[in-house]
Amino acid sequence: MQKRIKNIFLGVLILFYQSTSAQSGFYVPNSGKIFFNGDTATIFSDVINRGQFGVGKKAFVNFLGKTWDNSSLSQITDESSNGSGISGIGGWVRFLSDSFRQQIIGGYNAAVKLGASFPRIQIQNRNGIELLQSSAKVRREFNFSEGHLYLNDNILSIGNNDPGLINGYDSSRYFITNNKPGSGYLIRENVQSIDGRIDFPVGSKIYSYTPAAIQNFSSQGDDYYVNVFDSVKVALFSGADLSNESVNKTWEIGKRFHPGLEETQIYLQHLLPDEGNYFKANRKYAHVSWFNGVSWDLGSPQRYPDPGYIITGDPIAIGGVNDRHFYNTVASPSYFTKFTGIGD
């Protein structure tokens, strides 16, 4: 064990030496390997990963630098295959800062599911972290301790042929989308009936926690993705503004492999202050509405929203949840919002 630890520290020193001559920051070259087997280690500089950066299941790597940069050919390995695989549990990479927003260049291609991926990430940064230049993936678990993750126009994928785990989310800790359709997605992989309700803790901006959740009733799994943006219009992206009759949020929800098939329960949570005046006066008839390609449909059940329970911990009073069952509807993508009806 002492010899292994010695080799690890020797590798760190070699990598730091290489970084001073060729790169700035903690540099892992194309053929380089570094493995953190256990305990806690801290990196104070930027990380430039071009090779194999290993984090064993008992390890905590605290990152205090500005930017973590993975190339598309790099790996973040775990304890499997003697430290060269990605099928194990893996340890934590913890993003820590009190002074600036940190950045991840993920090096992951969500379309073809190739590239670098983290085993487990924890955010402990009140300024948050943001995805830049490319999408990112977390194979096992994502934990919010403090702060947001800003998706920008990128994708964050959670899970490794399963939905993975997301913990610690609430109205002050969640994924901030790009606040427009077509980008800034949160993906959860291979959601099946046995998984029950799967939460997507997203919001269009800060102080705007408006998550969604889905339940797939099929044993045939699928990758589901969610985005939310501020706007409800008659023709989806154009026409008259419907913010008075709605909650001024449109949720973009899709599935990757079997669009338009199977049963899905959709749960949408809005904030009561976002309700338009007409919606507020007729809240008892609130319902989830689907844009059918021509217009928004009239959905059921129509009822008062439940307190906001798509959250870690107790429901929040200023959040309201409505849900609706859909058959062969969720496509790639589909659009949903909330209106009030007449009690049908």
pLDDT at 13 over 60: no
> Which pLDDT score is estimated for 334?
97
pLDDT at 191 over 80: yes
pLDDT at 14 over 90: no
pLDDT at 327 over 70: yes
Region 201-222: mean pLDDT is 97
Region 317-333: mean pLDDT is 96
**Which one has a higher pLDDT value, 118 or 16?**
118
pLDDT at 17 over 80: no
Region 206-227: mean pLDDT is 97
The answer to whether 327 and 232 have CB atoms below 8 angstroms apart is: no
> Which pLDDT score is estimated for 298?
95
**Which one has a higher pLDDT value, 60 or 4?**
60
- Mean pLDDT (the chain, rounded): 93
pLDDT tens-digit profile of 29-85? 999 999 999 889 999 999 999 999 999 999 999 999 999 999 999 999 999 999 999
With 0.95 as the threshold, say if the pTM is over it: no
Region 162-175: mean pLDDT is 98
Q: For the domain 161-168+179-344, what is the CATH code? A: 2.60.220
Q: Can you tell me which residue has the tokens 């219009």? A: 233
Percentage above 70 pLDDT, the chain: 93
Domain residue extents for the chain: 1-149, 161-168+179-344
> Which pLDDT score is estimated for 344?
62
The answer to whether 138 and 162 have CB atoms below 8 angstroms apart is: no
pLDDT tens-digit profile of 301-310? 999 999 999 9
Region 175-189: mean pLDDT is 97
When pLDDT is cut at 50, 70 and 90, the band that residue 342 belongs to is confident
> Which pLDDT score is estimated for 15?
45
**Which one has a higher pLDDT value, 146 or 18?**
146
When pLDDT is cut at 50, 70 and 90, the band that residue 23 belongs to is low
> Which pLDDT score is estimated for 50?
97
> Which pLDDT score is estimated for 311?
97
When pLDDT is cut at 50, 70 and 90, the band that residue 341 belongs to is confident
